Amino acid sequence: MATRQRAVAAAGLAGVLLATASCASQDEPGEDEGSGTTLRIATVENRDLVRLRELSQAYTSEHPGVTLEWDTLEEGRLRQQVMTDIATQGGRYDIVTIGTYEAPIWAEREWLRPLDALPADYAEDDLLPTVREALSHDGTLYAAPFYGESAITMYRTDLFEQAGLTMPDSPTWDDIAGAAERLDQGDVNGICLRGRPGWGENVALLTAMANAEGGRWFTEDWTPDLRTGAWTTALQRYADLLTEHGPDDATSLGYTDVLSLFQEGRCAIWVDASVAGSALVDPQSSQVADSVGFALAPDAGQSVRSSWLWSWALAVPESSDDAGPAQEFVTWATSTEYTDLVARSDGWANVPPGTRTSLYENEEYREAAPFADATFASIEESDPEQPTTQPVPYTGIQYVSIPSFPSIGTAVGNRVAAVLDGSVTVEQALEDAQWVTEKVIAQSERTED
């Protein structure tokens, strides 16, 4: 890693913890290690991981010495709580739910146990290569993918048919804008997008849109590069779509809020995480289950789509005193055995997507999950090493894989939200984004010196 990149990776804004964990116990997985063990698990409150908590009774029934204690948290609180515990070696959790952003950074700091003793029948080679690599450090897996996702386009087939429109399999943002204008009527918004401020909310989508326009966060020498035509075009397009054809309260809406709106029939188009597909086609939770179509994320006429790569994954902190039993549970929860359990319990459309090649070779799954092809294609073409058309010094598609990015992204997300409410212009928001990012890089250089 270049010196400048080490400086960026070493520093962060106030509130980013830089503690380094030391080694705890060196337990290895074993058949008898679960006796009398309580595993404390921190996870995110979403549809798939709540299902894991419910179905984990199947695991404890076969491992009577194991008790599972769950902290199921909203995404922002989960990140904060887990980060604090792991960075300070608090030892509160034996298993944590993290993403592709955290896994390599925390692994490099030796905060996570390597998953280097997986059993042969786990079939690590079956994991989708892009997902496996994103959760690895120096070729070793440090977090097992529970599900993987990219961004795709979801839309109402009935509304498109009524309007005489056709959604291309590979739409452009111009296609999306034209359809959103035609379909914006009554209680139905022409388009719904994430508007809530945050590096994992509005900034994730905006970064993917900027990538498609040829934008980037940093030049090759780590100079912030946000005052460009690509970023201006992306932010202006994002603002126009939401202010003209989106929900009135867009800045308060995150992923789960927009999911609910679509399920209620109040969105004609939605560009977001492919994992939403199962919830949209589930007649028990979606009022439009029989009229949802799926396409690739839009592009802007260049070689990059507004898609991303993410995985919610399970990892074992270095500070866990029960690392062996914890890894056994992680292995089970991310295995094909668990996939089969979900299929039997809730149907193939509801199994965790985006992690294994074998799932996309399963005809039962492909028939039950109309979003499967778009998801697989988007994950397969994702390239965190080259997220845009220009060269970059970082990895990450909808984020930059440096410790300070959550703080940068949160600050920028607030300025993006201000564009939506009309308090700042697109140009001023990008000026502010450039300024705060420059300040972080300058602080990084001072830290390195």
11 is a domain residue: no
Q: Is the same domain home to 316 and 401?
A: no
Tokens of 225: 């590069």
Q: What percent of the chain has pLDDT over 70?
A: 91
Q: Is the same domain home to 131 and 164?
A: no
Q: Is the same domain home to 115 and 74?
A: yes
Tokens of 215: 């934008």
Which pLDDT tens digit goes with each residue over 361-396?
999 999 999 999 999 999 999 999 999 999 999 999
Q: What pLDDT was estimated at residue 9?
A: 39
2 is a domain residue: no
| Residue type (1 letter), 11 | A
Average pLDDT over residues 414-439: 97
Q: What percent of the chain has pLDDT over 90?
A: 87
361 is a domain residue: yes
Q: From CA 78, how far away is CA 71, in angstroms rounded?
A: 9
Which CATH number fits the domain that encloses residue 285?
Answer: 3.40.190.10
Q: Is the same domain home to 196 and 276?
A: yes
Assess whether pLDDT exceeds 90 at residue 448. Answer: no
Average pLDDT over residues 431-442: 92
208 is a domain residue: yes
Residue where one domain finishes, among candidates 323, 352, 369: 369
Choose among 251, 270, 233, 30: nearest CA to 260. 270
Tokens of 259: 């999911």
Q: Which domain holds residue 353?
A: 17-149+310-369
425 is a domain residue: yes
Q: Is the same domain home to 361 and 435?
A: no
Q: Is the same domain home to 155 and 133?
A: no
Overall domain count for the chain: 2
| Lowest mean pLDDT across 257-266, 351-360, 402-411 | 402-411
Which pLDDT tens digit goes with each residue over 6-18?
334 334 333 333 3
Q: Is the same domain home to 69 and 179?
A: no
346 is a domain residue: yes
Assess whether pLDDT exceeds 90 at residue 34. Answer: no
Choose among 328, 353, 351: nearest CA to 341. 351
Residue where one domain finishes, among candidates 352, 369, 386: 369
Q: Is the same domain home to 279 and 419?
A: yes
382 is a domain residue: no
350 is a domain residue: yes
Residue where one domain finishes, among candidates 369, 387, 406: 369
Q: Is the same domain home to 199 and 247?
A: yes
With cut-offs at 50, 70 and 90, classify the pLDDT of residue 76.
confident
| Lowest mean pLDDT across 116-130, 191-205, 337-351, 432-446 | 432-446
Helix, strand, coil tally for the chain in percent (to 5) = 45, 15, 40
Q: Is the same domain home to 291 and 352?
A: no
Average pLDDT over residues 324-332: 97
Assess whether pLDDT exceeds 80 at residue 65. Answer: yes
The H-or-E segment that residue 416 falls in is helix 405-420
Q: From CA 127, how far away is CA 359, in angstroms rounded?
A: 10
Which pLDDT tens digit goes with each residue over 272-308?
999 999 999 999 999 999 999 999 999 999 999 999 9
In whole numbers, what is the pLDDT of the chain averaged over residues?
91
Q: Is the same domain home to 165 and 255?
A: yes
Q: From CA 376, how far away is CA 358, in angstroms rounded?
A: 11
Q: Is the same domain home to 106 and 173?
A: no
Q: From CA 404, how far away is CA 52, in angstroms rounded?
A: 31
Q: What pLDDT was estimated at residue 18?
A: 33
Assess whether pLDDT exceeds 60 at residue 345. Answer: yes
Q: Strand 144-149: give its sheet, edge to edge.
A: 66-73, 37-44, 95-98, 310-315, 144-149
